[in-house]
Chain A
């Protein structure tokens, strides 16, 4: 029995490896291109910058969206969760509260967004798209009302503020602290989504909600958990963002939405089973971050960067399909 088990898993992993390999080729090509095109790209300072500023925060938001998209839904309000966590965190620190209170308050604010989404979707049976779109609108207005039309809140130097900023900018165990946070969250979400009972239920709801319901799965409860988790992860990004820039800028969280959705779907396309996965999403985030940073260093302006990203996404996906077909 155990022999046949090994046979199957070996076959699966070889095919999975081939699919991943094609992505690595594309990655390598892009990295080599930028390394040749610009001398600064491969410097440690730049890579550190890419990781901390372009990868970590986006990746954490994308992890949450990976869970939601796996469940067959969408969360358009992740930016609001980012902003709300950021806003409450900064307001609490600015009012002199300790860092623990600030973090708890920030995550609490994100939690409220998640619970609101969950109620709208599971109790009122509003489709995830419309429910989270409504929350997006409400959340944006709320921020503008709370900040007299969108004024940023800056953290003047103080104990907790400086401490967080220092944590965000220094290294722990030889890696930047935000990167450590990301690694912990990636492992946690990977285990949750791909190894746990909850993850299996999420996949089932995403594959065929009727079957999940007919199998005795408490679909509303699991779906609520999905949306709460997504909002909390976005909240973590909000706190990291504020700690890094020592301020809260209203509506800055929305910038993550499309990139995070994009990264998740790139990951979906690259995976063998065409399902969202944590590893795939991470690859998608890395791809977007490298391309963005590389084009910036090459000297393209912001608008042409967007065009470049679009074209590169197409090229990478086309290459991945081509290589996969050749491998078969």
Chain B
């Protein structure tokens, strides 16, 4: 422990950051030691990504101090941080897709003479590094977009190593990887740790934290609530630190008598994504859907809203068979979609709350093609009140609302439409804990009123807390259906990663 203390690579103390009324970080601390792997966990909105962005120089903190390699630094920029040897592997692939592997590895540090770049030298050196560190051999001049996600991660890590990284921060690096790739990534990270590099590993998956990390720092509500050794601390205890309130309180309980099946899917198939998918969602039921990136879960949801056209199979709503080729058809047939990318697909930030809420149901508030403002205003005011959307007035731009309230506007749009089936795609991402609970309450109420709800989520705690039943997709097939006591995050995780399946449950 004494040596570790002296080997601090990065020390962030008392970091605070507000965005308008939202307190993203409040007196948060983070200490990263050399030759060790630090896990960073916390719920969405707990401040994990904010504190990492502060370290990356993307966000300027309001207060606090940062010491890197013994030197107090101020006014960090992404470039100056990299010069200090701190490198980030962000969750989204931040590689230029049309670049070659060599160009990607040396991006920003091109090898060459003066303004001229020596492509051949870069390709050769990149190939050397890939082989030396990872035993990976790629044809010369391979383009980044032709690599698998795991290979892209490796290229990103290689880029950091080529710049002599001393601190490596990985944000959800395993989200898109299959188990074998995860294992080899872990081997790489352990090797880097043994070489004295400080590794920060951000993950939602407790099992990964337990397996890989030497220490884990837990964040909650914008501050660090403790750092523990994951090998000596039970996972439940770490989760309790993350949540710090009764899960029963976070996920409001409800009792609903389920009605007839509203959404019936059978034998649904999309080439290259999934096949033989069949399930029902009954009136009043909340069914969860989960799977790793690339498992096909996302594509199932897209087919249900006409964003992709299934190659075969049946989708029925209230017994009527639908042909979903576009969202136009889906909306008309009573299907509502809460998309993952709220800003691109959920709400138009430049339109008012009123215009957003009535957008999908304008026909209800119009006669001979003209919008009746009276009817529209009345309906919109009703929904603002009903969902307690915090907005100065109905004509305020949605841009001025908080993330949670924006999400409520997106839900209100479908309430105005009186949709029967709600398909939700990661509805609580980037929403603070308070608004999350409100959204869960809203889902419960929708279900209580007889709607059928399909919730696609990668937040296993959320699925367990909210759903009556969870379906797990693994490699394009239903790998399990869990309900009651069998529905716990360990079982879901195991089924998602193909380690365990519960195909018996699927038939039920």
A: which residues have CB within 8 A of B? 1, 4-5, 8, 11-12, 191, 195-198, 200-201, 203-204, 207-208, 210-218, 275
Residues of chain B within 8 A (CB-CB) of A195 are: 370-371
Given A8-B395, A208-B349, A215-B413: A196 in contact with B369 (beta carbons within 8 A): yes
Residues of chain A within 8 A (CB-CB) of B344 are: 208, 210-211
Are B359 and A217 interface neighbours, CB within 8 A? Answer: yes
Are B363 and A197 interface neighbours, CB within 8 A? Answer: yes
Are B355 and A197 interface neighbours, CB within 8 A? Answer: no
Residues of chain B within 8 A (CB-CB) of A210 are: 341, 344-345
Q: Which of B330, B341, B366 contacts A197 (CB 8 A)?
A: B366
Are B328 and A217 interface neighbours, CB within 8 A? Answer: yes
A interface footprint on B380-420 (CB within 8 Å = 1, 0 otherwise): 01000000000001110000000000000000010000000
Q: Assuming A198-B369, A204-B348, A215-B359, what are 9 further A-B pairs, CB within 8 angstroms?
A: A195-B371, A200-B359, A201-B362, A203-B351, A208-B348, A211-B346, A211-B356, A218-B326, A275-B350
Residues of chain B within 8 A (CB-CB) of A212 are: 348, 359
Stretch from B17-25, B186-194, B282-290, B331-339 contacting the other chain? B331-339
Are A214 and B351 interface neighbours, CB within 8 A? Answer: no
Are A207 and B351 interface neighbours, CB within 8 A? Answer: yes
Q: Which of B327, B332, B371, B393 contacts A200 (CB 8 A)?
A: B371
Residues of chain A within 8 A (CB-CB) of B366 are: 196-197
8 A–B pairs (Cβ distance < 8 Å), ordered by A: A1-B378, A197-B366, A210-B341, A210-B345, A214-B305, A215-B327, A215-B331, A216-B360
B37 at the interface (CB under 8 A from A): no
- Greatest chain B CB density within 10 A among A1, A196, A207, A210 is at A207
Are A204 and B351 interface neighbours, CB within 8 A? Answer: yes
Are B377 and A5 interface neighbours, CB within 8 A? Answer: yes
Given A216-B327, A216-B330, A216-B360: A211 in contact with B345 (beta carbons within 8 A): yes
B451 at the interface (CB under 8 A from A): no
Are B393 and A211 interface neighbours, CB within 8 A? Answer: no
Q: Lowest 5 A-B CB distances belong to which pairs?
A: A216-B331, A208-B348, A207-B348, A215-B360, A207-B350
Residues of chain A within 8 A (CB-CB) of B343 are: 208
For the complex, what is the distance from the CA of A11 to the CA of B396, rounded to whole Å?
A: 12
- Greatest chain B CB density within 10 A among A195, A200, A215 is at A215
B168 at the interface (CB under 8 A from A): no
B38 at the interface (CB under 8 A from A): no
B197 at the interface (CB under 8 A from A): no
For the complex, what is the distance from the CA of A216 to the CA of B417, rounded to whole Å?
A: 11
Are A208 and B327 interface neighbours, CB within 8 A? Answer: no
Are B370 and A197 interface neighbours, CB within 8 A? Answer: yes
Are A196 and B395 interface neighbours, CB within 8 A? Answer: no
Residues of chain B within 8 A (CB-CB) of A200 are: 355, 358-359, 362, 371
Residues of chain B within 8 A (CB-CB) of A218 are: 326, 328
B466 at the interface (CB under 8 A from A): no
B347 at the interface (CB under 8 A from A): yes
For the complex, what is the distance from the CA of A218 to the CA of B413, rounded to whole Å?
A: 17
Are A196 and B360 interface neighbours, CB within 8 A? Answer: no
Are A196 and B371 interface neighbours, CB within 8 A? Answer: yes
For the complex, what is the distance from the CA of A212 to the CA of B360, rounded to whole Å?
A: 8
Instruction: Return A213 CB to nearest CB of chain B, in Å.
Output: 6
For the complex, what is the distance from the CA of A195 to the CA of B355, rounded to whole Å?
A: 12
Are A196 and B328 interface neighbours, CB within 8 A? Answer: no
Instruction: Return A105 CB to nearest CB of chain B, in Å.
Output: 28
Residues of chain B within 8 A (CB-CB) of A213 are: 327, 345
For the complex, what is the distance from the CA of A54 to the CA of B178, rounded to whole Å?
A: 67
**Which residue from chain A places its CB closest to the CB of B393 in the assembled complex?**
A8
For the complex, what is the distance from the CA of A5 to the CA of B378, rounded to whole Å?
A: 9
Residues of chain A within 8 A (CB-CB) of B337 are: 214
Residues of chain B within 8 A (CB-CB) of A208 are: 343-344, 347-351
For the complex, what is the distance from the CA of A204 to the CA of B346, rounded to whole Å?
A: 12
For the complex, what is the distance from the CA of A106 to the CA of B327, rounded to whole Å?
A: 37
Residues of chain B within 8 A (CB-CB) of A191 are: 370
Residues of chain A within 8 A (CB-CB) of B326 are: 218
Are A1 and B381 interface neighbours, CB within 8 A? Answer: yes
Instruction: Return A226 CB to nearest CB of chain B, in Å.
Output: 15
Given A197-B371, A214-B345, A218-B328: A12 in contact with B395 (beta carbons within 8 A): yes
Residues of chain A within 8 A (CB-CB) of B378 are: 1
Are B355 and A204 interface neighbours, CB within 8 A? Answer: yes
For the complex, what is the distance from the CA of A208 to the CA of B343, rounded to whole Å?
A: 9
**Which residue from chain A places its CB closest to the CB of B349 in the assembled complex?**
A208
Residues of chain B within 8 A (CB-CB) of A211 are: 344-348, 356, 359
**Which residue from chain A places its CB closest to the CB of B337 in the assembled complex?**
A214
Instruction: Return B454 CB to nearest CB of chain A, in Å.
Output: 16
Instruction: Return A172 CB to nearest CB of chain B, in Å.
Output: 28
Instruction: Return A192 CB to nearest CB of chain B, in Å.
Output: 9
Residues of chain A within 8 A (CB-CB) of B395 are: 8, 12
Q: Which of A5, A196, A207, A214 contacts B327 (CB 8 A)?
A: A214
Residues of chain A within 8 A (CB-CB) of B381 are: 1, 4
- Greatest chain A CB density within 10 A among B305, B332, B344 is at B344
Instruction: Return B341 CB to nearest CB of chain A, in Å.
Output: 8
Are B327 and A204 interface neighbours, CB within 8 A? Answer: no
Residues of chain A within 8 A (CB-CB) of B305 are: 214
Instruction: Return B230 CB to nearest CB of chain A, in Å.
Output: 40
Instruction: Return B427 CB to nearest CB of chain A, in Å.
Output: 14
Instruction: Return A253 CB to nearest CB of chain B, in Å.
Output: 30
Residues of chain B within 8 A (CB-CB) of A207 are: 348-351
Are B348 and A197 interface neighbours, CB within 8 A? Answer: no
Residues of chain B within 8 A (CB-CB) of A198 are: 369
Instruction: Return B407 CB to nearest CB of chain A, in Å.
Output: 13
Instruction: Return B322 CB to nearest CB of chain A, in Å.
Output: 13
**Which residue from chain B places its CB closest to the CB of A194 in the assembled complex?**
B371
8 A Cβ contacts from B170-221 to A: none
Residues of chain B within 8 A (CB-CB) of A201 are: 362
**Which residue from chain A places its CB closest to the CB of B360 in the assembled complex?**
A215
For the complex, what is the distance from the CA of A211 to the CA of B330, rounded to whole Å?
A: 14
Residues of chain A within 8 A (CB-CB) of B370 are: 191, 195-197
For the complex, what is the distance from the CA of A198 to the CA of B362, rounded to whole Å?
A: 10
Residues of chain A within 8 A (CB-CB) of B330 are: 216
Instruction: Return A167 CB to nearest CB of chain B, in Å.
Output: 31
Are A204 and B359 interface neighbours, CB within 8 A? Answer: yes
**Which residue from chain B places its CB closest to the CB of A191 in the assembled complex?**
B370
For the complex, what is the distance from the CA of A85 to the CA of B156, rounded to whole Å?
A: 58
For the complex, what is the distance from the CA of A239 to the CA of B332, rounded to whole Å?
A: 41
For the complex, what is the distance from the CA of A200 to the CA of B351, rounded to whole Å?
A: 10
